[in-house]
């Protein structure tokens, strides 16, 4: 029998960027918020010994414990899905701060085109540019509507950056100037300019100088130590929920952060949620945390899973195309080419979002009339800080072990660097999330089942963008340039990209979306679902900036909901009977 | 210093204090000789870290038969051999790194999903064996020995390097039958573990004296590159390990 806990104003499931932003905004406004986090307490103090590639980047210290919970995976509808038993293609965060504690810090705004992609594609290229099995949708919000929330996220995070020549004028400056440059990044900049492209120093949450944010939290200056992605920052120099929004919420006295609390279901009567049920993972005790408003703020996968498991919202059915929960699951297409240079660079130095990028082949910035795909990707050279276990690259044909492997991998360690892309991913009717009929987690609940394969659109985009990455490296004077090929099918084993989106998407029409543009569920007014799970497709940038903006938008929505109740957005339905 | 107060001090602190008293010239002779098992008749002893203290990391925690450990050692040396660049897997301590990893969470798949049912799956669904990593290593090592005996009528450790490579290639190409796991999967694990042991921070028992980092010109765990990141010149640095930051 679960123990009932006194009702609070708001309970959040997961305390990362989304949970932290909701907590800070609502507690500042005087609401009582409980944040439930399945993982452990985590602060800057935990990162004093973080320069440890083996523990953090190879054994994934900060990631979800897969022995408790994982996903099952299959490429197509007629296959038996099997568990992702160990990490490979993507990583899942856990603990206080979530993936925000160990992200790289790339803080992008999605483009105006992203939010109205269906309308703009139809208008420019006709209704048949993509076959109808691509379930492309507008997001139910425009760039201009979301822009103020993007700026709010940037200011809280102290983002460092430089104007992107190909984007609409910013209404506000970046809070801090761009990060330092390096010889290899300068070379990328020059080569791209020679190719008549428009490179710029990319936005970064590894802060270029000491910064005090509007909530009064101080962020330190990045030391370029080379341990960002998959690591926490020992300086508090990388914007993370742990050094910004969580302390802000705690300071109000209205926020209770409860760790080791794994939520197993949303309690509801179909139309209203009354709270959530969770297990204390250390003692096994069950609790019902009652609340006026339930906010799902965990990762894409868990947001979707909790709704399906709690039988909230209408599950998506790929056979009929009806239902919404689990729909429009997207990945991201990591096009990459590696350049091998004669000279040595200080490749071990770096930072998570120390990079130079360009948008010439992103969004609809280039003409797709004669191309068999839409959208594209930002193309970036980054100096992340090379680490020796993971980085043993040598030109192809080099053996994978033995004397020659050793000599070549040592030779190229400081001489090779990749150009990579965050390639957009379009939704497809058969790429979706559902509950697995066979496999269960540590608490006896079904695992989430992922059905996903690369589409023709993905393959065409990958091929095109990879060739562009290679052109830049050639112009940079690399001795050898090697574009990487995409596997025939999506493979759960090799590391690729952690940017997973969709499953609980936003939109203007309740028939085809789960959430309105405040991320409030169409079906259940007092449940908000925040995260990249709300993306109707995945754009050509890293997703965190957009998650942050949507979280600020949702926080405003929850405050509005407290005043006016009911649906905050009028339904626009394609169904004439609605 | 009386015995009681000495035993209350941490070993590290004692070493540091003694070292300070002796003007930093403390050597292995004072605190005990280097313990290093040398199975391969090489003239060099495995290096044991800059302070030359006794290396208590050189004890087997997983393997019970020395022969299994010797076969593992020989295989890692073929994957990451000693050459003109410097030390190979054995000198770096990689076999001990693997032994210790197999005894712990890694070897026992503590953070992996190990519930059934088990199916082999497609080429895209990844690892699907009920065996834990230590089981896979043991099965693979014993099968390597079996292959060696049936092909060359000799133990793996007594083969020429090229012969050892031939056997390793058979595993890499999935030409050896193992129960519940492919030999290619075993080989991939062996290869990854060898590279990990060579290049991980020395605290894990490999990468002795940070020699593998020196070969790659990897500076290890530096606290900052703020004033170096813009340098046009390549900067060679003496690497630092995590131990350098322990107070």
Alpha-carbon gap, residue A483 to A481, rounded angstroms: 7
Say which DSSP state A55 is in. I
Which A positions 54-113 lie with beta carbon below 8 A of chain B? Answer: 54, 58-60, 65-67, 70, 73-75, 79-80, 82-86, 88
Q: Count CB neighbours of B237 within 10 A.
A: 17
Q: Is residue A570 part of a domain?
A: no
The closest of A418, A422, A378, A423 to A201, measured between CA atoms, is: A378
Alpha-carbon gap, residue B46 to A438, rounded angstroms: 50
Q: Is residue A494 part of a domain?
A: yes
Which of A51, A52, A414 is opposite residue B217, by nearest beta carbon?
A: A414
Alpha-carbon gap, residue A288 to A376, rounded angstroms: 45
Contact A331, A459 (CB under 8 A): no
Alpha-carbon gap, residue A262 to A13, rounded angstroms: 8
Alpha-carbon gap, residue A428 to A435, rounded angstroms: 18
Q: Is A445 exposed, middle or buried (0-12, 13-18, 19+ CB in 10 A)?
A: middle
φ, ψ dihedrals at A294, nearest 5°:
-105, 130
Q: Which ipTM score applies to this complex?
A: 0.95
- CB contacts, 8 Å: A70 with chain B: 113
Contact B234 A492 (CB under 8 A): no
A146: distance to nearest CA of chain B, Å?
Answer: 35
Interface test with B, best of A223, A391, A401 (most B CBs within 10 A): A401
Alpha-carbon gap, residue B227 to A563, rounded angstroms: 53
Q: Is residue A573 part of a domain?
A: no
Query: Which residues, at least 6 apart from B9, have a Cβ–Cβ distance to it below 8 Å?
Result: B17
| A410 touching B (Cβ < 8 Å) | yes
Alpha-carbon gap, residue A508 to A377, rounded angstroms: 26
Contact A54 B242 (CB under 8 A): no
- Beta strands per DSSP E along chain B: none
A46's tokens: 């935990």
Q: What is the DSSP string of A344-356?
A: ---TT-B-TT-EE
The conformational region for residue B72 under phi > 0 = left, psi -120 to 50 = alpha, else beta, is alpha
The tokens 């425009």 sit on which residue? A142
CATH classification of the domain holding A296: 3.50.50.60
B106: distance to nearest CA of chain A, Å?
Answer: 8
CA distances from A168 to A144, A176, A177 (A): 10, 19, 19
Question: How many angstroms separate the first and last alpha carbons of chain B?
Answer: 22
Q: Which domain does A378 fall in, by range?
A: 3-563
What is the edge-to-edge ordering of all strands in the sheet holding A336-340?
Answer: A200-201, A355-358, A377-382, A416-423, A336-340, A480-483
Contact A86, B126 (CB under 8 A): yes
Contact B110 A49 (CB under 8 A): no
Q: Is residue A324 part of a domain?
A: yes
Contact B80 A82 (CB under 8 A): no
Q: Is residue A574 part of a domain?
A: no
Contacts 24+ apart (CB under 8 A), A74-79: A74/A449, A74/A450, A74/A451, A74/B125, A75/A451, A75/A452, A75/A453, A75/A489, A75/A490, A75/B122, A75/B124, A76/A430, A76/A451, A76/A453, A77/A318, A77/A430, A77/A451, A79/B122
Alpha-carbon gap, residue A547 to A553, rounded angstroms: 10
The closest of A422, A337, A418 to A377, measured between CA atoms, is: A422
Which A positions 378-407 lie with beta carbon below 8 A of chain B? Answer: 386-389, 392, 400-403, 405-407
pLDDT at A169: 81
Residues in chain B: 247
The tokens 């090697």 sit on which residue? A482
Q: Is residue A571 part of a domain?
A: no
- CB contacts, 8 Å: B221 with chain A: 51-52
Which 3 state secondary structure label does DSSP give A543? coil
**C-alpha of A174 from chain center:** 21
Contact B199 A226 (CB under 8 A): no
Q: Is residue A577 part of a domain?
A: no
Q: Catalogue the active-site residues of A.
A: 499
In this prediction the pTM is 0.92
β pairing state of A377-382 and A416-423: antiparallel
pLDDT at B11: 35
Q: Is residue A569 part of a domain?
A: no
pLDDT in tens, B206-236: 999 999 999 999 999 999 999 999 999 999 9
- CB contacts, 8 Å: A224 with chain B: 224-226, 229
> A340 has which bridge partners?
A416, A480
- CB contacts, 8 Å: A492 with chain B: 124-126
Contact B109 A67 (CB under 8 A): yes
Contact B111 A66 (CB under 8 A): yes
- CB contacts, 8 Å: B81 with chain A: 402-403, 406
Helices B133-152 and B94-103 cross at an angle (nearest 10°) of 130
User: Block means of pLDDT (10 residues each) for chain A, length 578 residues?
Assistant: 96 98 98 98 95 98 96 97 97 96 97 98 96 97 97 98 92 96 98 98 98 98 97 97 98 98 96 97 97 97 98 97 98 97 97 98 98 98 97 96 98 98 98 98 97 98 98 98 96 95 98 98 97 98 98 98 94 62
Q: What is the DSSP string of A91-140?
A: --B-STTGGGGS---B-PPPPHHHHTHHHHHHHHH-TTSS-TTS-----S
| A342 touching B (Cβ < 8 Å) | no
> Which residue positions in chain B have pLDDT lower than 50?
1-51
Q: Based on the structure, what is the number of domains in chain A?
A: 1
Tell me which H or E stretch contains A568.
none
pLDDT at B201: 98
φ, ψ dihedrals at B192, nearest 5°:
-65, -40
Contact A558, A295 (CB under 8 A): yes
Alpha-carbon gap, residue A264 to A257, rounded angstroms: 17
Report how many Cβ contacts below 8 Å link chain A to chain B: 170
Contact A402 B78 (CB under 8 A): yes
């Amino acid at each position: 029998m679960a123990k009932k806990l006194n009702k609070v104003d708001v309970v959040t499931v997961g305390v990362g960027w989304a949970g932290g932003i909701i907590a800070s905004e609502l507690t500042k406004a005087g609401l009582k918020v409980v944040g439930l986090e399945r993982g452990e307490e985590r602060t800057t103090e935990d990162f004093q010994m973080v320069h440890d590639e083996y523990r953090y980047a190879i054994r994934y210290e900060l990631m979800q414990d897969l022995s408790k919970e994982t996903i099952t995976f299959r490429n197509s509808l007629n296959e038996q899905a099997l568990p992702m038993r160990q990490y490979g293609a993507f990583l899942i965060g856990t603990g206080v701060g979530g993936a925000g504690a160990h992200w790289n810090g790339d803080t992008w705004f999605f483009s105006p085109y992203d939010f109205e992609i269906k309308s703009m594609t139809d208008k420019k290229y006709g209704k048949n540019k993509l076959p109808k099995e691509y379930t492309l949708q507008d997001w139910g919000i425009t760039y201009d509507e979301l822009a103020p929330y993007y700026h709010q996220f940037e200011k809280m995070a102290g983002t460092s950056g430089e104007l992107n020549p190909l984007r609409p004028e910013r209404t506000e400056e970046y809070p801090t100037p761009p990060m330092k440059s390096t010889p290899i990044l300068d070379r990328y900049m020059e080569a791209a300019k020679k190719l008549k492209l428009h490179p710029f120093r990319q936005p970064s949450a590894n802060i270029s100088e000491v910064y005090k944010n509007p909530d009064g939290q101080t962020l330190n200056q990045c030391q370029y130590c080379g341990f960002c992605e998959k690591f926490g920052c020992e300086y508090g120099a990388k914007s993370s929920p742990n050094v910004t929004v969580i302390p802000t919420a705690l300071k109000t006295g209205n926020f209770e952060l409860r760790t080791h609390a794994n939520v197993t279901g949303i309690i509801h009567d179909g139309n209203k949620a009354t709270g959530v049920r969770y297990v204390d993972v250390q003692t096994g005790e069950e609790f019902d945390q009652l609340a006026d408003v339930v906010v799902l703020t965990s990762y894409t996968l868990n947001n979707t899973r909790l709704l399906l498991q709690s039988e909230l919202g209408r599950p998506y059915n790929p056979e009929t195309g009806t239902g919404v929960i689990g729909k429009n699951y997207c990945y991201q297409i990591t096009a990459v080419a590696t350049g091998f240079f004669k000279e040595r660079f200080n490749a071990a130095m770096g930072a998570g979002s120390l990079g130079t990028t360009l948008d010439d082949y992103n969004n609809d910035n280039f003409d797709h009339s004669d191309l068999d795909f839409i959208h594209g990707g930002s193309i970036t050279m980054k100096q992340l800080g090379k680490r020796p276990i993971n980085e043993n690259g040598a030109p192809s044909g080099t053996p994978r072990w033995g004397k020659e492997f050793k000599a070549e991998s040592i030779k190229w360690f400081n001489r090779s660097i990749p150009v990579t892309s965050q390639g957009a991913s379009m939704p497809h009717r058969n790429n979706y999330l559902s509950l697995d009929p066979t496999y269960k987690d540590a608490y006896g609940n079904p695992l989430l089942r992922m059905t996903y394969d690369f589409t023709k659109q993905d393959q065409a985009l990958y091929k095109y963008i990879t060739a562009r990455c290679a052109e830049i490296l050639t112009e940079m004077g690399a001795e050898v340039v090697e574009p990487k090929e995409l596997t025939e099918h999506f493979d759960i084993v090799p590391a690729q990209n952690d940017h997973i989106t969709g499953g609980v998407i936003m939109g203007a029409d309740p028939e085809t979306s789960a959430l309105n543009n405040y991320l409030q569920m169409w079906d259940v007014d007092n449940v908000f679902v925040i995260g990249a799970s709300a993306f109707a497709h995945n754009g050509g940038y890293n997703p965190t900036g957009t998650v942050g903006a949507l979280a600020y938008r949702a926080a405003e929505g929850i405050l509005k909901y407290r005043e006016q109740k009911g649906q905050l957005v009028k339904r626009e339905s394609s169904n004439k009977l609605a | 210093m009386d015995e009681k107060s000495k035993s209350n001090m941490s070993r590290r602190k004692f070493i540091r204090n003694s070292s300070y008293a002796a003007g930093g010239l403390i050597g292995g002779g004072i605190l005990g000789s280097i313990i290093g098992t040398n199975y391969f008749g090489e003239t060099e002893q495995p290096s044991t870290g800059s302070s030359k203290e006794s290396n208590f990391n050189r004890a087997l925690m997983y393997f019970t038969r020395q022969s299994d450990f010797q076969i593992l050692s020989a295989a890692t040396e073929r994957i990451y051999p000693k050459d003109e660049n410097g030390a190979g897997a054995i000198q770096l301590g990689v076999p001990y790194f693997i032994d210790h990893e197999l005894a712990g969470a890694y070897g026992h798949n503590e953070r992996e999903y190990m519930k059934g049912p088990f199916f082999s799956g497609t080429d895209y669904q990844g690892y699907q064996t009920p065996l834990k990593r230590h089981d896979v290593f043991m099965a693979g090592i014993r099968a390597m020995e079996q292959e060696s005996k049936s092909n060359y009528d000799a133990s793996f450790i007594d083969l020429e390097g090229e012969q050892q490579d031939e056997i390793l290639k058979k595993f890499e190409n999935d030409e050896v039958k193992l129960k519940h796991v492919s030999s290619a999967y075993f080989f991939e694990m062996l290869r990854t573990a060898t590279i990990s042991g060579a290049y991980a921070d020395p605290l894990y028992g490999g990468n002795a004296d940070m020699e593998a980092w020196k070969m790659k010109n990897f500076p290890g765990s530096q606290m900052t590159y703020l004033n170096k990141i813009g340098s046009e010149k390549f900067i060679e640095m003496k690497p630092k390990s995590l131990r350098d930051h322990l107070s």
